[in-house]
Amino acid sequence: MNIRPVDPRDMTWEQDHAVYRVYFWDTAKNHSHEFEVTEADIDEVLDWTRGEAKSRGWSYTVYVKVSDEGQPGLTRLCGVAGDPFAV
């Protein structure tokens, strides 16, 4: 982990309400379950995600939906990196 001080004036915009994508990985069945979560903060999303994953024995990845030059994309926040089904 690399930590450094920053100047908050280097950002040109911020958004108060994020859109999250949660992918659950059911490796026993080689299947994924995807959900979009809105109207929640990251703590709520993580609490729900971790509870669902634990109760079902699944792993997970949590992303935040972002836009780069108008193109939608995902930035991983936590969980499994990459596709757990890839060989």
Distance of alpha carbon 53 from the chain centroid: 14
Residue range 55-83, pLDDT digits in tens: 999 999 999 999 888 899 999 999 999 88
Q: What is the pLDDT of residue 83?
A: 83
Model confidence at 87, pLDDT cuts 50, 70, 90, reads low
**Best CA proximity match to 64, nearest among 20, 17, 22:** 20
Residue range 2-55, pLDDT digits in tens: 999 999 999 998 889 999 999 999 989 999 999 999 999 999 999 999 999 999
